[in-house]
Amino acid sequence: MAAALPRFLHDPVQEDGNRLRRSFLPGLLFAGLMWLVFVPAFFLDLELGQYGLYPRRSFGLLGILTAPLLHADWAHLLSNTFPLILLAAMVFYMFPRSSGWIMLLLYLASGSLAWLMARPGYHVGASGVVYALASFIFFSGMFRRDRNAVMFSVVIFFLYGGMLYGIFPAEGRVSWESHLAGGIAGMFAAFFFRHTELSPAEPKPEIRTDYDFPQTITNPPAINASFTGQPQLVIRYTFVPKKPEEVKLLLSENPEPGINPESPEEKPGF
Q: Which CATH superfamily is domain 17-192 in?
A: Rhomboid-like (1.20.1540.10)
Please tell me the distance from the alpha carbon of residue 95 to that of residue 105, in angstroms, as a whole number.
14
Instruction: State pLDDT tens for residues 253-264.
Output: 655 555 555 555
Do the beta carbons of residue 23 and residue 89 sit within 8 Å?
A: yes
Where are the chain's structural domains? Answer: 17-192, 219-265
Nearest to 80 by CA among 12, 30, 145: 30
What's the predicted TM-score (pTM) here? 0.68
Q: Per-residue confidence at 8, pLDDT binned at 50, 70, 90?
A: very low
Q: Per-residue confidence at 102, pLDDT binned at 50, 70, 90?
A: very high
Res 1: pLDDT = 47
Cα dist from 31 to 46, 177, 195, whole Å: 20, 22, 29
Instruction: Work out the percent of the chain whose per-residue pLDDT is above 90.
Output: 47
